Amino acid sequence: METDIDINITRVESSKLKDINLENIPFGKYFSDHMLEADYENGEWKNVEIKPYQPLVIEPSLAALHYGQSIFEGIKAYKDANGEGYIFRPYDNFKRFNISAARMCMPTIPEEIFMEGMKQLVALDKNWIPSKEDHTMYIRPLMFATDTLLGVRPSDTYKFLILLSPSGPYYTSPMKIYVEEKYSRSVKGGAGFSKNAGNYATSMIAAKEARAKGYDQVLWTDPFEHKWLQEVGMMNVMFIIDGVAVTPELSEGTILNGVTRNSAIVLLKEMGIEVQERRLSIDEIVEAYKKGQLNEVFGCGTAATIAPIKELGYGDYRMPFDVETFKIAAKLRKEMDDIRYARIPDTHNWMVKI
């Protein structure tokens, strides 16, 4: 995109990259040399700059810390065999970022700051994109309220940042998932569709209690009957029932409109697999399991990509799976990776070259 946005760039004097082995890194622990920062004041975005990754100076009264006006995105950048860098579907995350902003009474961010800023930042720190399979550069745009006032109202000022974190896989092995019947992630009229910090904060206790029972994460259910399935942990969820891919539908606004979810739906249909986006109950899942028709269960998310589930626990009832037999998940994962590492043509125009 041609743009006249003026981004002031201050480069690091010496790169930290020499101290980090990109072949062996956990998810989200390391950050590249630079970050993007912009401020919203008097109704406009200003001071767009790329500068060395560094601490922020904030006041204790910062509104985001008290009332949680804070949103983020997760995007990934890849390197192909020739060393070219690509970002996977960033326009979709840009659109969702502004949907989250609107829900949280925050200003939207202009496309040229989000997209052009991200491209320039990733290009500057391109050497930080890992080459190893399963390793990527996780891109974290975020925005938070910066008014220093204890009154509860939408802030007048905000900060927008983009951080880059070269990362290994989010989950290193298949997950054990507990069907959550005590806590709720989201309700119609709430903010489940938005990527706001509070959704993640309120989910942690459920994951903690599930871990104490021997599970990795929870399968969220609706808040009234604890019956209708929503998401798994921080991801969308997909079931293969008798050869048909079924995933909870989005119309109530309780579920994140995942970019990986959407990519999976597109690719599954292209593979000739029927996809149903609809209401889906835990009772249907248990029944399909008992009949031997629940073929595969997996999570779909940017951080974890396609994450196989090796056991579902519903109360005392356990549904173990042999993930080695998950042919559709494996094929989908391979197809996605082949597109993202540019090993096959990008027929959907999902990859943005940097």
- Chain residues binding ligand COI by CB under 6 A are 74, 200, 234, 301-303
- Nearer to ligand COI by C-beta: 91 or 200? 200
- Nearer to ligand COI by C-beta: 71 or 282? 71
Q: Which residues contact 44 (CB under 8 A, 6 or more apart)?
A: none
* HEC profile of 249-304: CCCCCCCCCCHHHHHHHHHHHHCCCCEEEECCEHHHHHHHHHCCCEEEEEEEECCC
Report the 10 Å Cβ neighbour count for 313: 19
Q: Distance (Å, rounded) from C-alpha 156 to C-alpha 42?
A: 7
Quick check: 235 and 299 in contact, CB under 8 A?
A: yes
- Nearer to ligand COI by C-beta: 121 or 207? 207
Least separation in angstroms between residue 307's CB and ligand COI is: 10
Least separation in angstroms between residue 166's CB and ligand COI is: 14
Least separation in angstroms between residue 98's CB and ligand COI is: 17
Least separation in angstroms between residue 315's CB and ligand COI is: 27
Quick check: 187 and 196 in contact, CB under 8 A?
A: no
- Nearer to ligand COI by C-beta: 72 or 239? 72
- Nearer to ligand COI by C-beta: 210 or 303? 303
Q: Quick one: which of 231, 217, 304, 259 has its CA closest to 73?
A: 259
Q: Distance (Å, rounded) from C-alpha 303 to C-alpha 140?
A: 11
Least separation in angstroms between residue 301's CB and ligand COI is: 3
Tokens describing residue 144? 């938070």
Least separation in angstroms between residue 56's CB and ligand COI is: 20
- Nearer to ligand COI by C-beta: 48 or 143? 143
